[in-house]
Amino acid sequence: MKDQIDAIQTEALARIGAVADARSLEEARVAILGKQGSLPQLSAGMREVPKEQKAEVGQLLNGARQAITAALEEKKDALQAAADARALEGIDPTLPARALHHGSLHPLTLIRHQAISILRRMGFALAEGPEIETEFHCFDALNTPADHPARNEKDTFYFDSGKLLRTHTSTVQIRTMETGKPPVRIIAPGSAYRRDEIDATHLSVFNQLEGLYVDADVSLGDLKGTLEYFLHELFGADTEVRFRPHFFPFTEPSFEIDVKLHAKGQQPKWIEVAGCGMVDPAVFEAVNDSRGDLAYDPARVTGFAFGMGLDRLAMIRWGIKDIRLLIENDTRFLRQFA
Amino acid sequence: MNVSLNWLATHVDLEGRSPDELDQLLTFAGVEVEGIEVKGVPSDKIVVAQIKEAVPHPNADKLKVTQVDAGEGALRQIVCGAKNYQVGDKVPCCLPGTDLGGFVIGETKMRGVESKGMLAAASEIGLTDAEDGLMILPADAEVGRPLRGMFDTDVLLEVEVTPNRPDLLSHYGMAREMATLLEQPLAQLDIPERSESVSTGVRIEAADACPYYTAVRIRDVEVKDSPAWLRQRLEAIGLRPINNIVDITNFVLHELGQPLHAFDAAKVSGGIVVREAGEGEVFAALDEESYPLEPGDCVISDESGAALALGGVMGGIDSGVTAETREVLLESAYFTPSRIRRTSRRTALMSDSSYRFERGVDPAGVDRASALAVKLILELAGGTAEAATMVAGAAPVVTGEVELDLARLDQLSGGCVAHDEAAALLERLGLESTGGGKWRVPSFRADLQRHIDLVEEIIRVKGLDAVESRLRGTFVPSSEVDHRYDADLRLRERLAGLGFHECQTIKLIADGELADALPLKPLRDGDAIRVSLPLSEDHAVMRPSMSPGLVASAARNLRQGATALRLFEMGRVFRNAGGGKARDLEGETLGILLGGEIQPAGWDRAARAADLHDLKAVVAALVPTCRLQFSPRERDGFALGCDVLAEGQNIGVFAMLSPARARALDATTPLFLVELDLAKLRKLAAVSRDIAELPQFPGSSRDAAMEAPAELANAAIEKVLAKLNEPLLVGYECFDVFRDPSGDKLAADRKSVAYRMHYRAADRTLKSKQVDAAHQGVLDKLSADLGVSFR
Q: In this complex, do B473 and A122 lie within 8 Å of one another by their Cβ atoms?
A: yes
Contacts of B337 in chain A (CB under 8 A): 147
Q: Which tops the pLDDT comparison, B687 or B256?
A: B256
A179 touches chain B (CB under 8 A): no
Q: Is the pLDDT of residue B435 over 80?
A: yes
A125 vs chain B: nearest CA distance in angstroms? 5
Which of A147, A326, A330 is facing B341, going by the closest CB pair? Answer: A147
Among A109, A191, A280, whose Cβ lies nearest the Cβ of B452?
Answer: A280
Chain A, residues 83-102, CB within 8 A of chain B, namely 95-96, 98-102
Q: Is the pLDDT of residue B179 over 70?
A: yes
pLDDT reported for residue B299: 96
d(CA B551, CA B530): 20
Average pLDDT over chain B, rounded to whole? Answer: 92
Contact A329 B464 (CB under 8 A): no
- Do B531 and A158 lie within an 8 Å CB cutoff? yes
Query: Is the distance from CB of A189 to CB of A309 less than 8 angstroms?
Result: no
pLDDT tops 80 at residue B130: no
Task: Give, for B302, the enclosing helix (H) or strand (E).
Answer: strand B298-302
pLDDT at B689: 67
Measure in Å the smallest separation between the Cα of B463 and chain A Cα atoms.
Answer: 8
State yes or no: pLDDT of B644 exceeds 90.
Answer: yes
Model confidence at B771: pLDDT above 70:
yes
* Rounded mean pLDDT, B690-702: 90
- Considering only the beta carbons, identify the residue of A229, A245, A281 that sits closest to B452: A281
Q: Is the pLDDT of residue B183 over 80?
A: yes
User: Which residues of chain B have a CB within 8 Å of the CB of A332?
Assistant: 560
Chain A residues whose beta carbon lies within 8 Å of the beta carbon of residue B532: 153, 157-160
Q: Report the range of poorest mean pLDDT among A73-87, A272-286, B204-218.
A: A73-87
Q: Choose from B28, B341, B469, B584 for mutation: most chain A CBs within 10 A.
A: B469
For residue B267, the 8-state DSSP code is: G
Residue B18: what pLDDT? 86
Candidates B164, B504, B602; nearest CB to A106: B504
Query: Which of A192-201, B15-24, B248-257, B518-527 tops mean pLDDT?
Result: B248-257
d(CA B473, nearest CA chain A) in Å:
7
Q: Name which of A45-59, A120-134, B113-127, B157-171 the model is least confident about.
A: A45-59
**Res B224: pLDDT:** 94
Domains observed in chain B? 2-40+154-182 (3.30.56.10), 46-150 (2.40.50.140), 196-393 (3.50.40.10), 401-466 (3.30.56.10), 481-685 (3.30.930.10), 700-790 (3.30.70.380)
Read off the pLDDT of each residue in A55-73 and give the average, rounded to a whole number.
88
pLDDT at B102 over 90: no
Task: Report the b/e string of A95-134 with b at 16+ CB within 10 A.
Answer: eeeeeebebbbbbbbbbbbebbebbeebebbbbbbbbbbb
> For residue B300, how far is the Cα from the chain centroid?
36
pLDDT of residue A153: 79
Model's pTM, two decimal places? 0.86
Residue B688 pLDDT greater than 70, yes or no: no
- What is the residue-wise DSSP string for B664-701? HTT-SS-EEEEEEEHHHHHHHHS--SPPPPPPSS--EE
Are the beta carbons of B778 and B757 closer than 8 angstroms?
A: yes
B450 touches A281 (CB < 8 A):
yes
Is A125–B476 a contact, with Cβ atoms under 8 angstroms apart? yes
Q: Could you tell me which chain A residue has the CA closest to the CA of B484?
A: A126
- Look at residue B101 in the predicted model and tell me its pLDDT: 73
Nearest to A159 among B495, B498, B531 (CB): B531
Which pLDDT band, with edges at 50, 70 and 90, does A130 fall under?
very high
Can you give the pLDDT at residue B687?
67
Nearest in space to B471 (alpha carbons), one of A198, A15, A121:
A121
Q: Lowest mean pLDDT: which of A45-49, A61-65, A300-304, B317-321? A: A45-49
Determine the Cα–Cα distance for residues A21 and A26; give it in Å rounded to an integer.
Answer: 9
A-B contacts at Cβ under 8 angstroms: 233
CA B33 to chain centroid: 18
The pairing of beta strand B541-542 with beta strand B508-509: antiparallel
Q: Which of the given ranges, A4-18, A49-63, A123-137, B13-27, has the highest pLDDT on average?
A: A123-137
**What confidence tier does A37 reach under pLDDT thresholds 50, 70, 90?**
confident
Nearest CA in chain A to B503: A329
Beta bridge partners of B113: B110
